[in-house]
Amino acid sequence: MSARPRAVVLLSGGLDSATAAAIARSDGFDLFALTIAYGQRHHVEIEAARAVARALGAARHVELQVDLSAFGGSALTDRIEVPKDRDLESSSIPATYVPARNTVFLSLAMAWAEAIGARDIYIGVNALDYSGYPDCRPEFIDAFERLASLATKAGAEGAALRIRAPLIRMTKAEIIRRGLELKVDYALTHSCYDPDPAGRPCGRCDSCRLRAKGFAEAGVDDPAVSPGPRAEALEP
């Protein structure tokens, strides 16, 4: 059994979560990767998460089914059009916001962390180059960490969980540069909100455009959009 401490890492298969997981590994943790199949319309990101977990040598990778599409209310879980070519400087919250998603995800990560004796949870949220989601802000992360100290046996006994958001104040370009330093294979990751049936990115949704902007500002090519085979989308 490894003597390294354990960390639960929320792993979506996207660029940010892959980088956060690589940072957790570089911080000396064994990775316990948690991927949530939340009823999103496109499942290619689940396959990407599996590939990233394997590449980073996760000690364990758990996939949970939590069907938020039963509630709807988001372009990612309901029959709502994914916005394209949107003003990325807009202060409005886009239709791709999934109600309470990060609160749900962190709650599940908190439960697993307690069960395995981990005191650290990593999440790849970012408050600079992002789409305006309220659950990606530093205030939210701080509030959830306070909640974790009150809501858990570990917290009550003085071993409070730490919610680590190492990317939260980084630009997308800075995230990419850090990931490349840590040998993240971004060809394995998937970011698009509205891929085609073969999993190819649309290039026009917020996530695609923010990713393209980040790679351009980092001065490197995005290997995930270079010619070559891509993972096939999974059936819902």
Is the entire prediction scored with pTM above 0.85? Answer: yes
Within a domain: 168: yes
What average pLDDT does this structure show over 24-37?
98
State yes or no: pLDDT of 230 exceeds 50: no
For the stretch 67-94, pLDDT in tens is: 999 999 999 999 999 999 998 878 789 9
Q: pLDDT over 70 for what percent of the chain?
A: 94
CB-neighbour burial class of residue 204 (10 A; exposed 0-12, middle 13-18, buried 19+)? middle
Residue 227, pLDDT score: 44
pLDDT of res. 41: 82
- Residue 109 belongs to domain with CATH number: 3.40.50.620
Q: Count up the domains in the chain and report the number.
A: 1
What integer pLDDT is reported at residue 226 of this predicted model? Answer: 52
pLDDT over 70 (residue 228): no
The residue count for the chain: 236
Give the residue numbers spanning the domain of 52: 6-225
Q: What is the mean pLDDT of the chain?
A: 92
Residues 96-118, mean pLDDT to the nearest whole number:
97
Per-residue 3-state assignment (H helix, E strand, C coil) for 3-27: CCCEEEEECCCCHHHHHHHHHHHHC
Quick one: pLDDT band at residue 191, thresholds 50, 70, 90? very high
Reported as a pLDDT band with limits 50, 70 and 90, residue 1 is low
Q: CA 79 to CA 86: how far, in whole Å?
A: 19
| Residue 141 in domain | yes
Evaluate whether residue 88 is within a structural domain.
Answer: yes
Q: Is the pLDDT of residue 8 over 80?
A: yes
Question: Residue 196 pLDDT more than 80?
Answer: yes
User: What pLDDT was estimated at residue 235?
Assistant: 33
Classify residue 81: in a domain, yes or no. yes
Mean pLDDT of 100-106: 97
207-220 pLDDT, tens per residue? Answer: 999 999 999 999 99
Please choose, from the candidates 88, 86, 164, 80, the residue with its C-alpha nearest in 3D space to the C-alpha of residue 122. Answer: 164
Considering the domain boundaries, does residue 147 fall inside one? yes
**Percent of the chain residues topping a pLDDT of 90:** 83
Tens of pLDDT, residue by residue over 119-149, are 999 999 998 876 679 999 999 999 999 999 9
Q: Are 171 and 128 in contact (CB under 8 A)?
A: yes
Residue 234 lies in a domain: no
